[in-house]
Structure 1
Amino acid sequence: MTVYKRFLRMIALPCALIVMLVGCSESSDYVAKVEGELILQTELDEALRNQYGAEVLDTLINNKIVEMEAKKEGITVSDETIQTEYDELVESYGGEDAVQDVLEENGLTIDSVKDNIRMYQLTKDVIAASIEIADEEVAQYFTDNKDSYGQAEQVVASHIQLEDEAAAKEVLAKVQAGEDFAELAQSFSLDVDTSDEGGDLGYISRGQMDESFEEVVFSLEKGAVSEVVQTAEGYHIIKVTSKVPAEEAVFDDVKEEVYATMLEERVSEAYTSWLTEKKEQYEIKTK
């Protein structure tokens, strides 16, 4: 799961509760009926406050401290930064529609998510201002995690998935006779997610596919077509359209990325102690 997916799930409950608790109505409008008996808005408000009030209040206090510290340090978060983070969140979910579904499930809006992105970034920036990471530490982190920054071997491939071996052999014969692979995938493949795209699976890394499929797809040369391959999902004919060789990472090329990763980790580690220290410096009264 990506950082942004974790972030959205992390803020979903607190944000939704803040909206409900802080924006509670004081009217006696009802929110439900059971056999004609009313459940009032004020009853819902009271139940939410009793169950979640302390948690939400603590979140609001923490946010206020962060904002006050940011003001002292002259730290702000630009609209461009918020939009960039939001765009990456959307991309990690596979598009606006997928994000909108998650928002609706959790009673959130795009504005509320962007506000939480602002607070999340503001918190990071405020704590980061007190963290120093030496160049030697960055270099050592890179050495210890070098594999994760390199380019893993990848294959770009397409496939045609059939239900049984006999049908797969018939289609393979058509491929071998020179018929267009993409058109055959559109006509015969059972994989509805890729058939319209001519069977295109995109970039494949090791560990993504069935072991039998993976063994074949990484052994094929560019432009080659496999024999019939059996997996748990059926029978496949695979065509490799491109190959990306493994490439070792160069420190100077990824130095900034390594630093950003380290800073994120240090901020996360420091958050609780930083907040505890700041709470001792502020006069906080709850009612």
Structure 2
Amino acid sequence: MSLLKQHKKTVLIILVLLITMGISLSFALKKDETVAKLNGEAISKDELYSEMVAQYGAATVDKIISDKIVAAEAKKQKVSVKASELTNEIEKLKASYGGEDAFNQALESNNTTLAFLKQDLKNYLTIKKLLEPEITITDEEMKTYFDENKDSFAKAEQIKASHILVPDEKTANEVQQKLTDGGNFAKLAKEYSTDDSTKDSGGDLGYFAKGTMVAEFDDAAFGLAVNQLSKPVKTKYGYHIIKVEAKKEAQEANYNDSKDKIKATLLDQKIESEYTTWLEAKKKNYKIENTLEEA
């Protein structure tokens, strides 16, 4: 979603600085109230506001105008984004980051919120619905893209594994002995594992490809047969006992299996390249006055 990334960059750089800081300050501060001091000299809220408007105001207003045109065109064409579609996109993003925790950390590191991201996603999906009927993707384009990016469509070997993580070797040996004596792996994971993200699901890590985990864990896990238990494996996190539950062999890239993904990728690329042209054409149908831009 390169267009979405472009929007997010604008949002993060401009709106977070101008709107989040500026509007929140307008509620918290009175006119001319001091926001900082330099050698005793006051820097007022109005001075801050003026500086931010001078730097970011025109671009921010232009983005707001663009968003309003998108909304108006969506209303004309009876285009809307369902809550379920938005939720589906959020879930895809979470999966791409490796789970909800990593996704939330990404939001935090980018100084944004889920509500803010949802609004941006909604705008992107609206643009996508408006432009998609005007876009053509040929079989030749798809085949060319596949040939040029074949490695990205190949599937590496994967295994499905569970683990029990404990802090020391003594505890690891104790757990392994209980497993050797017929103990239930899932129950022992709930009892002993210090991995809070997996212990309640019996230590289940799902499927993962080689190179996903730390080297010591990776080497041990991919060396096991299905249903085989590892000896205690030491990593920087502690000691792991690993059980492999299933395997998926590596697969070469297959064009027919990749067509949906290729089409979606090319569609996003074409939306990004054609959005500006589409927007400029639509602007001619509206009376627009941006005094900040004119200034």
The verdict on a shared fold, with TM-score over 0.5 as the criterion, is yes
Please give the alpha-carbon distance, in whole angstroms, between the structure 2 residues aligned to 1:208 and 1:277.
46
Q: Following the alignment from structure 1 to structure 2, what is the Cα–Cα distance between the partners of residues 8 and 286?
A: 20
Counterpart of 1:236 in structure 2 is 240
Deviation at residue 210 of structure 1 after TM alignment: 0.9
The match for 2:79 is: 77
**Letter in structure 2 aligned against 1:116:** D
Question: Post-superposition shift, 1:133?
Answer: 2.6
1:218 deviation in Å? 1.5
What does 1:26-105 align with in structure 2 at a 5 Å threshold? 46=50, 48-66=52-70, 75-80=77-82, 83-90=84-91, 92-93=93-94
Quote the offset at 1:142 in angstroms: 1.9
1:32–1:24 Cα change, 3 Å? closer
Note closer, same or farther for the CA distance 1:77–1:187 as it changes in structure 2 (3 Å cut).
same
TM-score (norm 2): 0.70
Over 3 Å counting, the alpha-carbon distance change for 1:3 and 1:137 in structure 2 is closer
Mapping for residues 70-219 of structure 1, pairs under 5 Å: 75-80=77-82, 83-90=84-91, 92-93=93-94, 110=115, 114-219=118-223
C-alpha distance in 1 between matches for 2:84 and 2:276: 27
The amino acid of 2:215's aligned partner reads: E
> Which blocks of at least 5 consecutive residues in structure 2 are unaligned?
37-42
Question: CA shift at 1:137, angstroms?
Answer: 1.3
1-structure distance, mates of 2:168, 2:3 = 41
Residue among 262, 267, 270 paired with 1:266: 270
Instruction: Give the 3 Å change call, closer, same or farther, for CA 114–166 of structure 1 in structure 2.
Output: closer
Q: Aligned partners of 1:237 and 1:4: how far apart in 2?
A: 44
What's the RMSD between the two structures over aligned residues?
4.4
> Cα deviation per residue 1:182-239 (whole Å; 9 max; x = unaligned)?
2222232232332233222222222210112111212211111012222222222111
- Alignment-derived partner of residue 227 in structure 2: 223
Distance change >3 Å, CA 180–CA 64, structure 1 → 2 = closer
Identity %: 36
Aligned residue pairs total 279
| Alignment check: 8 A CA contact 1:160 1:199 kept | yes
Question: Aligned in 2, Cα 1:19/1:121: closer, same or farther, shift over 3 Å?
Answer: farther
Give the match's secondary structure for 1:185. helix
Shift of 1:179: 1.6
Higher RCO structure, 1 or 2 (CA under 8 Å, sep 6+): 2
Gaps of 5+ in 1: none
CA distance in 1, matches of 2:62, 2:186: 57
Residue 247 and residue 272 in structure 1: after superposition, are their counterparts in 2 closer, same or farther (change >3 A)? same
CA distance in 2, matches of 1:7, 1:197: 38
Contact 1:158 1:200 in 2 (8 A): yes
Once residues 130 and 19 of structure 2 are traced to their aligned partners in structure 1, the CA distance between those partners, rounded to angstroms, is: 23
Whichever residue aligns with residue 178 of structure 1, its letter is: G
Distance, in Å, in 2 between the alignment partners of 1:64 and 1:260 is 26
SS in 2 for 1:85: helix
Distance 1:79 1:134, change over 3 A: closer
